[in-house]
Structure 1
Amino acid sequence: MLKIVRTHSGNPDFMALVKQLDHYLKIVDGDEHDFYNQYNTIDVLKHCIVAFLNDQPVGCGAFKQFDDNLVEIKRMFTSPEARGKNIASRILNDLEKWAEELHYKASILETGKRQIEAVGFYKKNNYKIIPNFGPYKNIVNSVCFKKDFEK
């Protein structure tokens, strides 16, 4: 049974999942890892989700305010053994719902072009590619997405 828990970045299960994510990204991002890593600190994230499958933490995600109308989705991860079970979509949908409850209008995010599964995942969840924003503007390996919430 899947349980979705809203929490913050100080949650030990969230921190453990992010550690797994960082290990994976260090391999995928290679020489660019340090650049991306500076934008992925979790010490100030107030809106985090941990997904539990049979009481085991298997996935996480978070958002932070980007501006008055937008949140930025951060730290999305599902452990390898739990992939293919729609857990990431449930996490993402709950993050969007939470942001909408707080009166945000849309979410944006950045992922790496080398993360083929992530790019496909966001497209499947109705995210549209947008021009790279903020620190990712001139980064060739970055692809940015946006999704407007329902009215």
Structure 2
Amino acid sequence: MHLRIQSERPDSAVASALIAELDAVLKPHYPPQSRHGYSVEKLIQQKVAFFVAYLEEQAVGCGGVQLFGSEYAEIKRMYVRPEFRGRGVGKRLLAHLEAYALERGIPLLRLETGVFQTEAIGLYQSFGFQRIPPFGPYFEDPLSICMEKKL
């Protein structure tokens, strides 16, 4: 398996398609107030470093990381197409995002995800992420889980 992860603008055709797929997956499970994913425009506006994972030449997943000063970084819009799950794509992508934050001296990595994203939650826990109370813009929500990992 030849997996390549490359920096990509969120408004590229490939990245936009992956983000749209992620939104379509989440929409039936979460009301609007429980969906916190950035739009393509907000990813750009907030200067989120965004990456796309390619298996051979096919885009199979994406994810971003937003820096909040030197205090922490947050994982944004992480997604692996269902037919490519279980092949280590999510692990490689998460490791790439973690390395990006580490290279910039960030001591803490945080994220928010939905309670129905059981595969993602398992992946995050396997990487050492632990549940925390809501941070930043997040609030107590029975459909939301916040997690962090000290780097």
Partner of 1:42: 40
Q: Hey, which bits of structure 1, 4+ residues long, moved more than 6 A?
A: none
1:14 paired with 2:15, answer yes
TM-superposition CA deviations, 1:86-127 (whole Å, max 9, x none): 101101110111111122111100011122222111101111
Number of aligned pairs?
Answer: 146
CA distance in 1 between partners of 2:29 and 2:80 (Å): 16
The answer on whether the counterparts of 1:7 and 1:46 sit within 8 Å (CA) in structure 2 is no
Q: Secondary structure of the residue that 1:58 maps to in structure 2?
A: strand
CA distance in 2 between partners of 1:38 and 1:73 (Å): 12
Amino acid at match of 1:134: G
Amino acid at match of 1:98: Y
What are the residue-to-residue correspondences of 1:70-89 with 2, within 5 Å? 70-89=72-91
Amino acid at match of 2:33: F
Partner of 2:56: 54
Q: Secondary structure of the residue that 1:134 maps to in structure 2?
A: coil
The answer on whether the counterparts of 1:14 and 1:60 sit within 8 Å (CA) in structure 2 is yes
Partner of 1:104: 106
> Unpaired segments of 5 or more residues in structure 1?
none
TM-score under structure 1 normalisation? 0.88
TM-score under structure 2 normalisation? 0.88
Partner of 1:114: 116
User: Post-superposition shift, 1:140?
Assistant: 1.9
CA distance in 2 between partners of 1:56 and 1:120 (Å): 25
Q: Percent identity?
A: 34
The answer on whether the counterparts of 2:62 and 2:79 sit within 8 Å (CA) in structure 1 is yes
CA RMSD of aligned residues (A): 1.5
Partner of 2:144: 142
The answer on whether the counterparts of 1:28 and 1:115 sit within 8 Å (CA) in structure 2 is no
Amino acid at match of 2:21: Q
